Amino acid sequence: MGQNIKFSVKIKEDDLYRFNLHHTYTGSQGIISVALFVLLIAIWILRFSVLSPIYRVFYPLIAVIFLLYIPLTLKVRVKAQMQQEVFSYPLTYELKDEGLWISSPASEEPAVLPWEYVYKVSTWKEYLLIYSNRVNAYIIPISDISAEYNDTVAFIKSHVEDYKLQIK
């Protein structure tokens, strides 16, 4: 393609939290926690009349714990992650024919993700996500790159296999 594309984004705590929440609830851990919540509430409703008073309180309490455990632990984990030096600065992305170059004042050398090693590229809500594997992704808020967004997507589409693209 020839022309490199370069932009910088600063990941905010909310961006990282929303990505982790999305990733968790579309995976088995999130699905199981929601299913257990629904199951406990269903049992509680269907069996309420025969439950002892302690279980009338116990079932909804445990159900709420299943529902809130993941978001609360993710919130704590994201707060800790945001303390890392890499999140103190904007990340600079440069799309080159060889791959995606990610640099930060926190590291001396840029990280390089060759296009053939990109696991998946997708859009979700207002984010462009470039996955380096099944779990980890570079989170790029689309609002931060609105001027370069169309060129960025076109560049990615010309360098990444179609089956890895889930861009809306």
Check whether residue 24 and residue 76 sit in a common domain.
yes
| Amino acid (1-letter code) at residue 54 | I
Could you give phi then psi for residue 77, rounded to 5 degrees?
-65, -40
d(CA 94, CA 101): 5
For CA atoms 166, 102, 113, 27, the dihedral sign is negative
Check whether residue 141 and residue 129 sit in a common domain.
yes
Check whether residue 75 and residue 101 sit in a common domain.
no
pLDDT tens digits for range 76-124: 999 999 999 888 899 999 999 999 999 998 888 999 999 999 999 999 9
pLDDT tens digits for range 3-44: 899 999 999 999 999 999 998 988 888 899 899 999 999 999
Q: 159 lies in which domain range?
A: 5-11+85-166
Q: Catalogue the E-assigned strands of the chain.
A: 5-9, 91-96, 99-103, 111-114, 120-124, 127-131, 137-141, 165-166
Check whether residue 53 and residue 100 sit in a common domain.
no
Q: Look up the pTM and report it.
A: 0.83
Per-residue confidence band for 1, with pLDDT thresholds at 50, 70 and 90:
very low
Check whether residue 161 and residue 91 sit in a common domain.
yes
d(CA 72, CA 74): 5
Check whether residue 71 and residue 37 sit in a common domain.
yes
CATH number at residue 114: 2.30.29.30
Average pLDDT score over residue span 150-167 = 96
Check whether residue 54 and residue 70 sit in a common domain.
yes
